[in-house]
Amino acid sequence: MSEIVIYTIITVSVIGIIAAIILFFASQKFKVYEDPKIDLVEEALPTANCGGCGYPGCRNFAEACVKADDLSNLYCPVGGNEVMKNVAEILGKNAVDKEKQVAVIRCSGSYNVRSRTNNYDGAENCTIVANLYSGDTGCQFGCLGLGECVDACGFDAMYMDEETGLPVVIQDKCTACGDCVRACPKDIIELRNAGKKDRRIFVSCINEEKGGIAKKSCEVACIGCSLCVKACNYDAIEINNFLAYIDYEKCVLCRKCVDVCPTGSIHEINFPARKIKPQKKEKSENPDLVKIAKDKNSSETKE
């Protein structure tokens, strides 16, 4: 009986040793080499894992940076230019500076300008509502007001305004990661260049209906009147599907489009208050004509 036990232990041990040897050689044969620079780049990243760079996480982005010939098409929106310079220094490559971006809400249809047509009673989720119907107001394009974008923001850079029912972006906290953009089923959120002195001009509307219909559903809707296009001297505005759009790459922030917009759908952010122009004084009357008129009146009185 003891011999059987001994043979069993020896057999199992031999099988284990052979299996270990096979696994060792197999691991060496199929070993995947990983560049140690990936770890260094990952440490330099903010580890937000937000996906704003276009990759599932910071580890994947770090791997892409190491494997890329240059970094011109790779950018971490959370870390910005400073982080990309550190990454470039680690890899011995050149980083390309990019404009800081910030999320903007392209809908200004608050409760007082967009009347409700029904009362929604269901799951408090924008995606669910968007899949069910067009919303509880006359505008089928506008914000649903349930805050899915706020829930998606991992940087506390957004909140819902109770008075307007619209999301508000906190510029100082916004990292332009794009999570809110991807979360919005209505596509009313856009990443735009922050602009000089953090000033921006954009059309805060995405309604693609004809002017009269759009105006009926929302008082501040873009009606596609083309007045902004005519006022712009830099070809920065175009109209598609009855909706104006301002190209932030071409816009010089002259504000002429804001002045001519009849519905106020073009928004200007962080600009100083406009100076009130003094009214022009009426031209003084010609003293000679005044004297002639007085003489005439006096002569008529004497008669």
Give the tens place of pLDDT for each residue, 141-187.
999 999 999 999 999 999 999 999 999 999 999 999 999 999 999 99
What CATH number should be reported for the domain holding residue 256? Answer: 3.30.70.20
Domain-embedded: residue 53: yes
Judge if 72 and 206 occupy the same domain: no
Judge if 126 and 170 occupy the same domain: yes
Highest mean pLDDT among 45-49, 66-70, 262-266: 262-266
Q: Per-residue pLDDT averaged across 98-117, rounded?
A: 92
Confidence band (pLDDT; 50, 70, 90) for 279?
low
Q: What is the per-residue pLDDT for 295? A: 54
Are the C-beta atoms of residues 183 and 152 closer than 8 Å to each other? yes
Judge if 56 and 134 occupy the same domain: no
Judge if 212 and 237 occupy the same domain: yes
Higher pLDDT: 79 or 297? It is 79
Domain-embedded: residue 245: yes
Judge if 138 and 81 occupy the same domain: no
Judge if 49 and 124 occupy the same domain: no
Say if residue 290's pLDDT is above 60: no
Residues 49, 50, 51, 52, Cα dihedral to 10°: -130
pTM of the complete model: 0.76
Judge if 83 and 123 occupy the same domain: no
Amino acid at 112: N
Q: What is the per-residue pLDDT for 241? A: 94
Domain-embedded: residue 138: yes
Higher pLDDT: 28 or 197? It is 197
Report d(CA 87, CA 95) in Å as an integer. 8
Judge if 86 and 142 occupy the same domain: no
Judge if 42 and 157 occupy the same domain: no
Judge if 112 and 81 occupy the same domain: no
Higher pLDDT: 177 or 5? It is 177
Judge if 244 and 183 occupy the same domain: yes
Judge if 82 and 127 occupy the same domain: no
- Which residue range forms the structural domain that includes residue 261? 105-269
Q: How high is the mean pLDDT of the chain?
A: 88
